Amino acid sequence: MGRAERKPQRHFQRYNQGVTLVEMMIVVVILGIVASIAVPSFNSYFERERVKRAAEDIYGLVLQAKAEGPIRDADMSVSVDTDAWCVGFSATPNCVCADNACRIDVANATGDDGVVQVVSGTDHPDVTIAGIAGTTFEQPRGSANTPGNITVTSGGSSLQIQITTEGRVRLCNPNGDSQGYDEC
């Protein structure tokens, strides 16, 4: 009988059955801060991607125009319409890309329409172009009769397609802020 019997103590345990309003408000505030930091980054990312896609489409079209010349043994005319936002090429001098007149005849094609060779602004919303009105890649050397630049811009982002007298076509960044392209 030296030991006294202990009575079991009841511990009052509080079980959480959800989150409190204060906890929820803290989470919402933190998410708001993170979103306000992230949204401008996403906007500039999408601007850069829009410019990159449009510039690479135009760059590819100009390279194709230069490559088609020796294949067809003909001068290839590149037309740039900054107002209608289109770039096209054809063996026909001064084709009007806004009217889809920039076409290449294809062997075994039905009809005489040929294949339209145009990059249009409708495929690249919120992007603008500026620069030369066009050039012709002359055969047999592929030199350009009108050297110049086509600048593709959206917001603060821009890329440039440079065409030299020798017929070199280059895609570069006039701002020097990379985007994976050499500085112009």
Angstrom distances, CA of residue 103 to CA of 3, 26, 49, 107, 183: 106, 61, 28, 13, 33
**pLDDT one-digit tens code per residue, 86-132:** 999 998 888 888 888 888 876 655 555 677 789 999 999 999 999 99
- 6 pLDDT exceeds 80? no
Comparison of pLDDT for 30 and 7, the residue scoring more: 30
For the chain, state the CA radius of gyration: 31
Q: Give domain limits for the chain.
A: 21-172
Angstrom distances, CA of residue 40 to CA of 2, 33, 45, 46: 76, 12, 8, 10
Q: Does the predicted model carry a pTM greater than 0.95?
A: no
Cα separation, 96 vs 62, whole angstroms = 15
Comparison of pLDDT for 6 and 35, the residue scoring more: 35
What does the pLDDT read at residue 89? 92
Comparison of pLDDT for 15 and 184, the residue scoring more: 184
Q: Which residues contact 43 (CB under 8 A, 6 or more apart)?
A: 155
What does the pLDDT read at residue 72? 87
How confident is residue 38, by pLDDT bands cut at 50, 70 and 90?
confident
Residue type, 172: C
Whether 62 contacts 89, CB under 8 Å: yes
Both tokens of 72, joined, read 């067809």
- 10 pLDDT exceeds 70? no
- 12 pLDDT exceeds 60? no
Q: Out of 3.90.1170.50, 3.55.40.10, 3.30.450.20, 3.40.50.150, select the CATH number for domain 21-172.
A: 3.55.40.10
Say how many Å lie between the first and final Cα of the chain, rounded: 98
**pLDDT one-digit tens code per residue, 43-66:** 888 889 999 999 999 999 999 999
28-53: b (≥16 Cβ within 10 Å) or e: eeeeeeeeeeeeeeeeeeebbebbbe
The dihedral through the CA atoms of 100, 104, 108, 111 has a sign that is positive
**pLDDT one-digit tens code per residue, 124-171:** 999 999 999 999 999 888 899 999 999 999 988 999 999 999 999 999
Whether 82 contacts 137, CB under 8 Å: no
Comparison of pLDDT for 36 and 164, the residue scoring more: 164
